[in-house]
Chain A
Amino acid sequence: MRNYLLKRVLQIMPVLFGITIITFFIIHTAPGDPTSKMMDPRMTVAEKMRLKEKFGIDKPIIVQYVDWISEVVKGNLGYSWKFQRPVAEVMGERLLATFYLAAVSLLLALLIGIPSGVISATRQYTKLDYFFTIFALVGISIPSFFFALLLIKYFAIDNSIFPISGMRTIEASSWPIGAQIKDIIAHTVLPAIVLGLGSTASFMRYTRSSMLEVIRQDYIRTAHSKGLSERVIIYRHALRNALIPIITLLGFWIPGLFSGALIVEQVFAWPGMGLLGYQAIGDRDYPLLMGVNLFLSFLTLTGNLCADLFYGLADPRIKYD
């Protein structure tokens, strides 16, 4: 097990390295550079050239890549051209907000998605099953910006139950800590629902189909004939086996929550990092874009690794040597 883990972690390194090469070269073939955005007629051409030299974009791409990667190896992600501050700092101060929103919505998705999937499967073709199935279909199909604006209209503008946007009330810094926590929770509800809806629906669909397959297996029939209670059969024997595809899904889902928060963070003015990578493309802020890419690739790879490890926990037949 330990060898397996070590091997997998070591494998991540060259893969990450490969990803950086590909993304770096693709990004740098895009036309335009960070001085493109400085469309100020008062800025002379000579001044622009001076800046290009400062940013190092007058050098050949290979040299730029070597400069960049040798700093990254030392743990320095470089300097954002747009924010003119270290990339790690720019990402770091937004990471927590994104992580918090992602965690809440993932939790929501798991807590609602899996049980309703199980219920759907065990009561196939009942009204409850149809209800959940339709809900999942709507949840997967509805565009998140539309759903977000719909929620804002009904719950924030027409009836001011929740705030329109943001992560906290600005005046809240002087409130008692309990009220501040309440304030943040109130601000979290709508974005978490929007971000979690798609995942909830997917988890529900996967759980349902996976459960349907499992409960027709021989060992479930055996359990029934042994006289075990329905509860024990479903939740101890069937669910555990049905969860394996869900775990795979989860491994992919975590990086998706970070990058997929883009729309939700935009509409709700959530101070996270979802928009960073997107805006960095428009601003041609290559160091920041590479930083975000590196972070998301790392999440994807570790997400997969975690999923592989969890298989072992869920399914005793899977063993790692």
Chain B
Amino acid sequence: MKKSLVLLLVFVMFLSIALIGCGSNDKSDSTDIQIPTETSANNTPTEPEPTEKDPALDVDKNPALARGNVLTVATTTLDGKFNTIMSSSMYDNWITSLVFDGLVTNDAKGNVIPSSAKKWDISEDKLTYTFYLNEGMTFHDGTPVTAEDVAFTYTAIADPDYDGSRGSSVADIVGVKAYRAGEVDTIEGIKVIDPLTISFTIEKPNVQKIRAFVYGILPKHIYEYDNWDAFKATMNRPVGSGIMKFEEFKVGEYVKLSRNETYFGKKTKLDGVIVKIQPTETATAAFAAGDIDLVNPPPSIESYEIMTSTDIGTVQEFVGNGYNYIGLNLRNPKLSDKRVRQALAYGLNRKLFIENQWEGFASICNTPISPVSWAYPASSSLNDYDYDVAKANALLDEAGWIDTDGDGIRDKDGIKLSLKWTAYNDIDWPINLVSLAKEQWKAIGVSLESELMEFNAVKDKVFDKQDFEMYNMAWDLSIDPDPTPIFGSDADVFGGYNAVGFHNERADEIFALGTQEYDQSKRAKLYQEWAILANEELPYIFNAYRDEIWGVNNRVKNIELGPYYDWTYAVKDIELDYVQ
């Protein structure tokens, strides 16, 4: 009885201490919360009170606030090719998409929307595209934007000396072939109708053609050239009609842009934008220190933790429009049977790999369309090839691959089921995946060898020579989901992208129908059928959809990033907190 009393007392004491502890915590919490509400209440009168206590404007806490009304974005490189028809890196594209405006652009969902062209007509036969430009648009030097400038831009891409990567986008315009051959001086299919109207005529209907008109309009009077080298010499000082004006480029350091006060569309509230080189090694730390407002590090727990360590920023995360995969050479007798391919998929624990490799910043992929696309089918219609050794073994038995000599490796007609994987060692995931596959495929009687080489060498072996058994790589997809260039029979040529040699009649039919179908919901149905077909046929062992993560400083408001909507699209809406 006595003992229990003591126990009770001790218990009461603990409880009271705990309660006191809670009480004091509650108190400090509530005072913390009260401070800002008090000051904001004080601020409502017209009398301007110092806002030093507002945590959103506390420079000591968030040093980024001292950088003024200028958005600073981290990049890893700047090539200085700030030209809409020449740029070849995503980072240079950031600059061009702010400095220049194309005829059309896209919204956050990837739909084509007007930009410099207020509207456009597509003729009955789907061959002629007529664009009507907005009235009153000017370039940064005050010169009006006219249809002549548009014609100049697309004629420059068709120049016989053109050596950028957009050449294919004008190849189907009537008269480009003759122009490239030097037979004519103008392109028949590009017609300036009046200063604000221009039409393009193409040879063959193509539903995605409209997306070829996104390239920013170059002012003819500035970019007109005597020879192609002279044109390229102007790349590092761009002049366009976009939302931002180019100010300065320091090689290896940064690009500075300022607000275009005469922009015809919605003007930005930012005074300027700085895109600054910040090496990957220190980018997240620099973000946490408030040196930069936006950063796009490789997705990992580590990046995430560093970026949120100082509480001055948040992380935006979304699934990217792309996937990585293991390509299988379907010409190879060992891999031409789809049951073998399916067995390899069942026999590899991709889920485990993805969890360990990307720590939650990737999800499993089973078809060559990203879930962010409108063409993605219902997930339930896809086989997820969950890790299942028994199923893998059954499929291989069924396909006639049986271990006849008892060495642990299956064989058929005297050929052993041993495969060679050509992987690149520039980054670590392929190497990790290969070692997992070696171990797990051994369990289903498949032996795996690997050869590691540098990315360019793998690319050469796979695409240019088609001399491989399996390889790994990733695709960054365009907004339009047309799979023809990757899986069409026509793309199975040396240098083409159908390196695995995938030939499927129904698939080719779908692809052909898909590019001629102008109703998006009907088109989606076609591609959903393709997604299910690819999921069954497995021209690749699909691996993962990777996420993208962006660190966003708390001072940056009105920004919602997505796979089709990078920060340059958001510039028109972004507002920044800052202190003078």
Interface residues of A (CB under 8 A from B): 30-33, 36-51, 54-55, 79, 82-85, 93-94, 97, 145, 149, 152-153, 156-157, 160, 164-168, 170-171, 173, 266-272, 282, 284
Residue of B254, B276, B281 touching A149 (CB-CB under 8 A): B281
Q: Is the CB of B459 within 8 A of A42?
A: no
Q: B250's contact among A30, A84, A171, A271, by CB below 8 Å, is which?
A: A271
Chain A residues with CB below 8 A from B248, complex form? 173
Q: At the interface with chain A, which of B196-204, B282-290, B374-382?
A: B282-290
- Decide yes or no whether B319 CB sits under 8 A from chain A: no
A30 and B281: CB pair below 8 A?
A: no
**B256 in contact (CB, < 8 A):** yes
Q: For window 126-181 of chain B, which residues contact chain A by CB distance below 8 Å?
A: 161, 163-165, 167-169, 171
Other than the given A51-B163, A84-B164, A168-B253, 14 more pairs (CB < 8 A) read: A38-B88, A43-B167, A44-B171, A45-B496, A48-B495, A51-B165, A51-B167, A83-B80, A83-B81, A164-B285, A170-B256, A267-B281, A269-B253, A282-B454
Shortest CB distance B42–A (Å): 32
* B328 in the interface (beta carbon within 8 A): no
Chain B 211-242 near chain A by CB (<8 Å), digits 1 or 0: 00000000000000000010011011000000
Given contacts A41-B478, A42-B485, A55-B163, contact A30 B282 (CB under 8 A): no
Within 8 A of A (CB), among B275-300: 276-279, 281-282, 285-286, 288-289, 291
20 A-B residue pairs with Cβ-Cβ distance under 8 Å, sorted by A, are: A30-B456, A32-B456, A32-B460, A38-B165, A39-B459, A43-B167, A54-B161, A79-B229, A83-B81, A85-B233, A94-B252, A149-B282, A165-B278, A165-B282, A170-B72, A267-B279, A270-B252, A271-B250, A282-B454, A282-B456
Q: Mark B53-89, 1 if CB is under 8 A from A, else 0.
A: 0000000000000010000100000011100001010
Is A272 touching B457 in the complex (CB atoms < 8 A)? Answer: no
Contact of A41 among B67, B256, B486, B493 (CB under 8 A): B486
Q: Distance (Å) between the CB of B557 and the closest chain A CB?
A: 22
Residues of A within 8 A of B495 (CB): 45, 48-49
**Is B461 part of the contact surface with A, judged by Cβ < 8 Å?**
yes
Chain B residue at minimal CB-CB distance from A152 = B282
| A38 / chain B contacts, CB cutoff of 8 Å | 88, 165
Q: Is the CB of B169 within 8 A of A84?
A: no
Docked-complex contact B478 and A170, CB < 8 angstroms: no
Contacts of A31 in B (CB 8 A): 456-457, 460-461
Given contacts A32-B460, A152-B285, A164-B282, contact A271 B253 (CB under 8 A): yes
**With an 8 A cutoff between CB atoms, is B251 at the interface?**
yes
Q: Closest residue to B484 on the A side, CB-wise?
A: A41
Q: How many A-B residue pairs have CB under 8 A?
A: 132
B497 at the interface (CB under 8 A from A): yes
Complex formed: what's the CA distance from A167 to B169 in Å?
A: 40
Contact between A165 and B286, CB atoms less than 8 A apart: yes
- Decide if B340 is an interface residue (CB 8 Å cutoff): no
Specify which chain B residues have a CB less than 8 angstroms from the CB of A267 in the assembled complex: 279, 281-282
The answer to whether A36 touches B456, judged by C-beta atoms less than 8 angstroms apart, is yes
Does chain A have a CB within 8 A of B470? no
Query: Contact check: which of B277, B285, B497 meets A166 at CB < 8 Å?
Result: B277
Nearest-CB distance from A62 to chain B (Å)? 21
Contact partners of A170 in chain B: CB under 8 A: 72, 253-254, 256, 274, 276
Distance to closest chain A CB from B151 (angstroms): 21
Identify the 10 closest CB pairs spanning chains A and B, nearest first.
Answer: A271-B252, A32-B456, A31-B460, A41-B485, A47-B167, A32-B460, A31-B457, A47-B168, A44-B168, A38-B165
**Residues 461-507 (chain B) with a chain A CB within 8 angstroms:** 461, 464, 475, 477-478, 485-486, 493-497
Structural contact, B285 and A42, CB atoms closer than 8 A: no
Known: A40-B165, A47-B167, A269-B279. A84 touches B456 (CB 8 A): no
Chain A residues within 8 Å of B167, by CB:
43, 47, 50-51
Residues of A within 8 A of B165 (CB): 38, 40, 43, 51
A45 to B167, CA, bound (A): 11
- In the assembled complex, the CB of B485 is this many whole angstroms from the nearest CB of chain A, namely 4
| Contact indicator B456/A269 (Cβ below 8 Å) | no
- Residues of A close to B252: CB separation below 8 A: 94, 97, 269-272
Q: In the complex, what distance in Å separates the CA atom of A168 from the CA atom of B281?
A: 19
Residue pair B163, A43 in contact (C-beta under 8 Å): no
| In the bound complex, CA of A40 to CA of B251 (Å) | 26
Task: Tell whether, in the assembled complex, residue B486 and residue A84 are in contact, meaning their CB atoms are under 8 Å apart.
Answer: no
| CB-nearest residue of chain B to A48 | B495
A157 and B285 form a contact (CB under 8 A): yes
Residues of B within 8 A of A40 (CB): 165
Which residues of B in the span 238-280 have a Cβ within 8 Å of any Cβ on A? 248, 250-254, 256, 274, 276-279
Shortest Cβ distance from B286 into chain A, in angstroms?
5
Shortest Cβ distance from A53 into B: residue = B163
A293 to B203, CA, bound (A): 47
Known: A43-B165, A85-B233, A160-B289. A165 touches B279 (CB 8 A): yes
Residue of A nearest to B161 (CB): A54
One of B86, B171, B455, B460 near A47 (C-beta < 8 A): B171
Central interface residue in A41, A54, A145, A266, by most chain B CB within 10 Å: A41
C-alpha spacing A55/B496, complex, angstroms: 19
Residues of A within 8 A of B486 (CB): 41
Question: Bound complex: CA of A42 vs CA of B211, how far in Å?
Answer: 11
CA distance A156 to B278 in the complex (A): 14
Q: Find the B residue at minimum CB distance from A271.
A: B252
B352 to chain A, nearest CB (A): 29
Q: Which residue of A lies closest to B211 (CB)?
A: A42
The answer to whether A166 touches B253, judged by C-beta atoms less than 8 angstroms apart, is: yes
CA distance A157 to B165 in the complex (A): 40
CB contact between A32 and one of B161, B232, B457, B478 (< 8 Å): that residue: B457
Cα A271 to Cα B255 in complex, Å, equals 13
Give the CA-CA distance A43 to B88 in the complex, in Å. Answer: 13
* B251 A93 Cβ-Cβ under 8 A: yes
State in angstroms the CA–CA spacing of A160 and B66 once bound together: 15
Chain A residue at smallest Cβ distance from B480: A42
Near A by CB (< 8 A), chain B positions 428-471 give 454-457, 459-461, 464
B77 (CB) vs chain A CBs: closest residue: A279
On chain B, the residues within 8 Å of A149 by CB distance are: 281-282
CA of A153 to CA of B477 in the docked complex: distance in angstroms?
38
- Contact call B459/A32, Cβ cutoff below 8 A: yes
A158 to chain B, nearest CB (A): 10
List B contacts of A164 (CB < 8 A): 278, 282, 285-286, 289, 291
B residues near A33, Cβ cutoff 8 Å = 460
In the complex, A167 Cα to B254 Cα: how many Å? 11
Query: Contacts of A79 on B, CB cut-off 8 Å?
Result: 229
Considering the chains assembled together, what is the distance between the CA atoms of A93 and B161 in angstroms? 26
Residue of A at shortest CB range from B486?
A41
> In the assembled complex, which residues on chain A have CB atoms less than 8 Å from the CB atom of B278?
164-165, 269
Q: Given A43-B165, A50-B167, A270-B252, do A82 and B289 touch, yes or no (CB 8 Å)?
A: no
CB distance from A100 to the nearest CB of B (A): 13
Q: Which of A37, A54, A157 contacts B163 (CB 8 A)?
A: A54
Write out the residue numbers on chain B whose beta carbons fall within 8 Å of the beta carbon of A30.
Answer: 456-457
Min CB distance A129 to B, Å, is: 36
Residues of B within 8 A of A46 (CB): 171
Known pairs A84-B235, A164-B285, A164-B291; A94 contacts B485 (CB<8 A): no
Chain B residue contacts of A41, Cβ below 8 A? 475, 477-478, 485-486, 497
Cα–Cα distance between A39 and B163 once the two chains are bound (Å): 15
Contacts of A51 in B (CB 8 A): 163, 165, 167
Contact mask B75-111 → A, CB, 8 Å, 1/0? 0000111000010100000000000000000000000
